[in-house]
Amino acid sequence: MKDYKKYYIIPAPPEDVYKALTNPATLQLWTGEPAVMSEIPGSEFSLWEDSIVGLNIEFDPGKKIVQQWYFGGDEEELSIVTIKLHPHAQGTSVELRHTNIPDEAYDDIVEGWNDVYFASLLEFYGDE
């Protein structure tokens, strides 16, 4: 199991980034796919036609999202994604921490975070 941590700068206020990550209609706008998402702890979510599925754990509106991501196996340790949003001079500093990523999935997950998830979000907000 491996952990991944990275910061991204999104050119939008934290409240807008939070909405983009939690509102199903807004998620669909930047992912291009229908999304299943709720801000209710204990609810399941699905993005990119079930490419990303998991359980919502905690929400602090405009500030933090905590989710468990499923990898389809019997993982002994939960894979937890924590996204913290901090005000930044250029919009929002997004602090991503993804723990307990299965070794065989690590490279694909890191590539997904950088080249798909946050690349799509940056494109949505007009950062070339």
Eight-state DSSP code of residue 48: T
**Could you list the residue range(s) of the whole structural domain that residue 52 is in?**
2-124
Q: What share of the chain is helix, strand, coil (3-state, %, to 5)?
A: 30, 40, 30
CB 100 within 8 Å of CB 75 = yes
What is the separation, in whole angstroms, between the first and last Cα of the chain? Answer: 33
- Position 128 pLDDT exceeds 50: no
Task: Give pLDDT tens digits for 106-123.
Answer: 999 999 999 999 999 999
Beta bridge partners of 65: 59, 83
pLDDT of residue 7: 97
Count of domains observed in the chain: 1
Query: Which H helix or E strand runs over 20?
Result: helix 14-22
% of the chain beyond a pLDDT of 90: 87
Task: Give pLDDT tens digits for 63-84.
Answer: 999 999 998 766 578 999 999 9
Q: Which CATH number is 62's domain given? A: 3.30.530.20
Cβ atoms within 10 A of the Cβ of 106, count?
A: 15
pLDDT average, residue stretch 82-107: 96
